[in-house]
Amino acid sequence: MMANYFADHIWLPHGWGEKVRVDVGAGRLLEVAESAEREGAEYLGRYVLPGMPNLHSHAFQRAMAGLAERQTNPEDSFWTWRETMYAFAGRIGPDELRAIAAQLYVEMLKAGYTHVCEFHYLHHQLDGKPYADPATMSLALIEAAREAGIGLTLLPVLYMTGGFDGRPLSERQRRFGFEVDAYLRLIEQLRKMENSTLRVGVALHSLRAVPEKAMRTVLESGLVDAAPIHIHIAEQIGEVQDCLALRNARPVEWLLDHAPVDPRWCLVHATHMTSVETRRLAETGAVAGLCPTTEANLGDGLFPLKTYLDAGGAFGIGSDSQISVSPVEELRWLEYGQRLATRHRNVTVSESSASVGENLWGDALFGGAQACGANIGTFEASARADLIVLDDAAPQLVARDAANALDTFVFAGNANLVRHVMVNGEWAVRDGRHRDEERIAVGFRKTVESLAQRA
Ligand code: NGQ
Ligand code: ZN
């Protein structure tokens, strides 16, 4: 079965293409033709973009968004937020995880994300014992992504210690813990399920949580030869200080010196880097996984974007703690953080375009797709057919042309301008409505109500 679509403008690898016709079959783009005739193809609208990859998500945290915004102590910090988050995580079993994730993924799709990397560490039962099937919680996420119709890169997380000193996991961390052998078996089991909308990579929670020897075993296991490898790194100053004290190097510096960091890698946050680390990271071809709304919400700090981009670094965006679920808001805050810090305007530009919106969207597509390890984020033959159609009847867009459409989409307005969303050749969202949103919302509501009662 082949379907044919036509739009006035489609975002192609070189920028906007005009009068573009695309042929879609078996979930893929078969042909993309510019300056084409519409003929019998379905007309989509004025502006069509590749869907945005979301490179960092902890799905369960969506259900606690807004519950950690009251001061409990003048010293409130990332670490006190983490205690609140752990207490909440302790109430989530497989049914809860599936219902929360399905709702979250519907919201992601409606906002323009068409693929998500789940950095998943809620593996075991509360006492730390594996479920009868150790993949139970992973399967809940896979099922949620299938229900919602979003592409998924599942990144089961290796989590072993409670700090750089190798201390054991705290009681609340016990359900995250894995020995390396059991972890690798989980990866092998899940790999068998891979298909056009599911990839399985690996994740090391952080340098705090994975001893060097275990890191080596995973990297040498043969299970990551061509798969994405994600790690949280240098998000908080406390982590930099501990790393300096125990490993005599800063986190990014240490990783670059001790691991074969290359384009398979995604370094999530990488907030606190010297300019030398920043340039070295850029040169590896790895992706910096930036989560601006979470990083702002948790008081992490600002990523050194300008130095990184000047060195040719790749980045993508993630919704992380789900305090916001919107690629537009992530990109806007990425740029605004830089403007506020430098007191300049229009920071994220490049030789190919002076438009900040075009650079942000285009760069995050490229880096996001790389971090997902999937053939997405681009309108080229053989890529997965993932696209979003902007609502060109919206007031913000009526008087815009292609030269400023992405700037308007990213910066102007709070109403969602995403009208239709396709993943793998199928419509997940039409006219702003997800195909199964009512049923999924009912399941979510029941779940959060029962979680509130158990609080
Ligand atoms: C996480 N989240 O794994 O969910 C972390 C907090 C930690 C963010 N860093 C826990 N945003 O880093 O130990
Ligand atoms: Zn995270």
Residue 409 and residue 290 share a domain: no
Q: Are residues 143 and 19 in the same domain?
A: no
Q: Which of 58, 115, 272, 320 is catalytic?
A: 320
Q: Is residue 358 part of a domain?
A: yes
Same domain, residue pair 321 and 382 = no
Helix 327-342 vs helix 356-372: crossing angle, to nearest 10: 120
Tell me which amino acid residue 242 is: D
**pLDDT tens-digit map of 63-83:** 999 999 999 999 999 999 999
Task: Give nearest CA residue, ligand 1 atom 1.
Answer: 58
Q: Based on the domain organization, do 249 and 291 belong to the same domain?
A: yes
Q: How confident is the model at residue 449 (pLDDT cuts 50, 70, 90)?
A: very high
Among the listed residues 407, 377, 376, 374, the one whose alpha carbon sits nearest the alpha carbon of residue 390: 407
| In a shared domain, residues 15 and 116 | no
Give me 27's structure tokens. 């979930």
Distance from the alpha carbon of residue 202 to the mean position of ligand 2, in angstroms: 14
CB of 400 shorter than 6 A to ligand 1: no
> Cα of 206 to ligand 2 centre, how many Å?
9
Listed residue (35, 34, 42) closest to 13, CA to CA: 34
319 pocket-lining for ligand 1 (C-beta < 6 Å): no
Residue 443 maps to a domain: no
- The long-range contacts involving 438-445, CB below 8 angstroms and separated by at least 24 positions, are 440/99, 440/102, 440/103, 440/106, 440/147, 440/148, 441/103, 441/106, 443/99, 443/102, 443/103, 444/99, 444/100, 444/102, 444/103
**What does pTM read for this prediction?**
0.98
Domain with 262 in it: what CATH number? 3.20.20.140
420 lines ligand 1 (CB under 6 A): no
Residue 452 domain-assigned (yes or no)? no
pLDDT at 455 over 80: no
The answer to whether residue 124 is domain-embedded is: yes
What's the gap in Å between 57 CA and the centre of ligand 2?
A: 7
Atom of ligand 1 nearest to the CA of 235: 9
Q: Which ligand is nearest to the CA of 159?
A: 1
Task: Identify which ligand lies nearest to the alpha carbon of 83.
Answer: 1
Atom of ligand 1 nearest to the CA of 121: 3
Looking up tokens 């919107």, which residue turns up? 326
Tell me how far apart the alpha carbons of residues 420 and 43 are, in angstroms, rounded to a whole number.
12
Q: Which two tokens stand for residue 314?
A: 């790749």
Cβ of 58 closer than 6 Å to ligand 1, yes or no, is yes
Same domain for 239 and 334?
Answer: yes
402-411 vs 327-342: helix axis angle to the nearest 10?
90
CA distances from 295 to 164, 209, 327 (A): 22, 20, 14
What pLDDT is stored for residue 103 in this prediction?
98
Q: Where residue 10 sits, what CATH number does that domain have?
A: 2.30.40.10
Give, for 294, the enclosing helix (H) or strand (E): helix 292-297
Does any ligand 1 atom lie closer than 6 A to the CB of residue 175? no
Atom 10 of ligand 1, residue of closest alpha carbon? 82
Q: Is residue 211 part of a domain?
A: yes
Distance, CA of 51 to chain centre: 12
Mean pLDDT lowest among 255-259, 261-265, 393-397: 393-397
Distance, in Å, from the CA atom of 239 to the CA atom of 206, rounded to the nearest integer, reads 10
Q: Which ligand is nearest to the CA of 60?
A: 1
**Residue 302 sits in the same domain as residue 257:** yes
Hey, how many other C-beta atoms are within 10 angstroms of the C-beta on 74? 5
Q: Which one, of 159, 161, 261, lies nearest residue 219 by Cα? A: 261
Q: CA-CA distance, 223 to 184, in Å (whole number)?
A: 8
Nearest CA to ligand 1 atom 4: 58
Question: 56, 115, 269, 420: which one is catalytic?
Answer: 269
The Å distance, Cα 206 to ligand 1 centre, comes to 9
How many whole angstroms separate alpha carbon 412 and alpha carbon 428? 25
115 assigned to active site:
no
Q: Is 294 in the pocket of ligand 1 (CB under 6 A)?
A: yes
| Residue 100, amino acid | I
Span from the CA of 56 to the centroid of ligand 2 (angstroms): 6
Q: Do the domain assignments include residue 224?
A: yes
Give the pair of three-digit tokens for residue 219: 């990297």
The whole-number pLDDT of residue 130 equals 97
**pLDDT tens sequence across 106-158:** 999 999 999 999 999 999 998 899 999 999 999 999 999 999 999 999 999 99
- Average of pLDDT values for 230-252? 98
> How many A from CA of 321 to the centre of ligand 2?
7
Does 444 map to a domain?
no
Residues 77 and 19 occupy one common structural domain: no
Residue 413's pLDDT band (cuts 50, 70, 90): confident
Q: Which ligand is nearest to the CA of 231?
A: 2
Tell me, yes or no, whether 271 and 405 share the same domain: no
Report the amino acid identity of residue 380.
E
Q: Is 114 in the pocket of ligand 1 (CB under 6 A)?
A: no
291 shares its domain with 419: no
- Tell me the HSE value of 407 on the side-chain side, using a 13 A CA sphere: 13
Tell whether the model's pLDDT for residue 454 goes beyond 90.
no
pLDDT level of residue 15 (50, 70, 90 thresholds)? very high
In total, how many domains does the chain have? 2
Percentages of the chain per state (helix, strand, coil), in multiples of 5: 40, 25, 40
Q: Determine the structural domain holding residue 271 and report its residue range.
A: 52-372
Residues 80 and 191 in one domain: yes
For residue 9, indicate whether it is catalytic.
no
The pLDDT > 90 percentage for the chain reads 98
Could you tell me the two tokens for 248? Answer: 């005599």
Residue 36 Cα to ligand 1 midpoint, Å, equals 48
The answer to whether position 192 is within a domain reads yes
Closest C-alpha among 57, 167, 166 to residue 101? 57
Instruction: Indicate if 16 and 60 belong to the same structural domain.
Output: no
CA atoms of 403 and 356, how far apart (whole Å): 11
Residue identified by tokens 């902007």 is: 390
Tokens of 6: 């036509």
Beta carbon of 272 within 6 Å of any ligand 1 atom: no
What is the rounded CA–CA span in Å between residue 222 and residue 339? 43
Q: What is the mean pLDDT of the chain?
A: 97
φ/ψ (deg, to 5) at 114: -115, 0
Residues in the chain: 455
Q: Say how far apart CA 195 and CA 197 lie, in whole Å.
A: 6
